Amino acid sequence: MTSLPPPSDGAASPYCRTCRRALYRYTTPAGIQTLLHAADLRGELADHRPEPVPLSQVRNPVMACDFCARTDAAFVYRCADQDTEQPIITSRTVGAADYRDRHRAAHTLRTETDGGLVNRWGTTWTACSGCAELVQQRDLYGLISRATDTLPTKYRHSRRLATTRGHLHASFSTVLSTLVPGRGRITPDHPLGIWDPPEAGGTR
């Protein structure tokens, strides 16, 4: 059997030489290209600046699942590229007493935004074994639930959770509807995947 060619190294997200994790491409409203760690996008804060290098130059990369962020990615899929917009929060208003008692965990009463960051996801998506099963089943809502279960608590409350689910629905729908047949099995020596042809009669 002839295997599918793996994606080129340029098709994968750049990786950070310091933490060995994938970086995400963003464009600011001013048109400036920037790279962010996944921690920055998930409401946390990376403790170092990105040092981008191609995946092939990273020894023992930390392969996180692009769906749920678990660090045991087992497969890589190919699909259409897509852009999504994320508003930039310029200010938050919190209650004085709540801030005194809870500091950064204080409940946000109001936020103000200015423009948005445009995220270019790229054409390759990694998946852990659990998410890969849902991808094979085309289980969109299963993927959304699995992804939101790993988010920080502040993103899993009321309207914010509904907004998050909406963003995930749009992104994951595009992935599932544009999947290229076949998938790559990630190994330590082949972080871009060993690509097998699709199974006969199926989408693999």
Residue 171: domain span:
9-85+123-196
Residue 107 lies in a domain: no
pLDDT at 162: 82
Provide the number of structural domains found in the chain.
1
Each residue of 100-147: pLDDT tens digit?
Answer: 555 555 555 555 554 555 566 778 899 999 999 999 999 999 999 999
Does 142 map to a domain?
A: yes
- What's the whole-model pTM score? 0.68
- Cα separations in angstroms, 66 against 1, 10, 22, 158, 191: 29, 17, 10, 24, 14
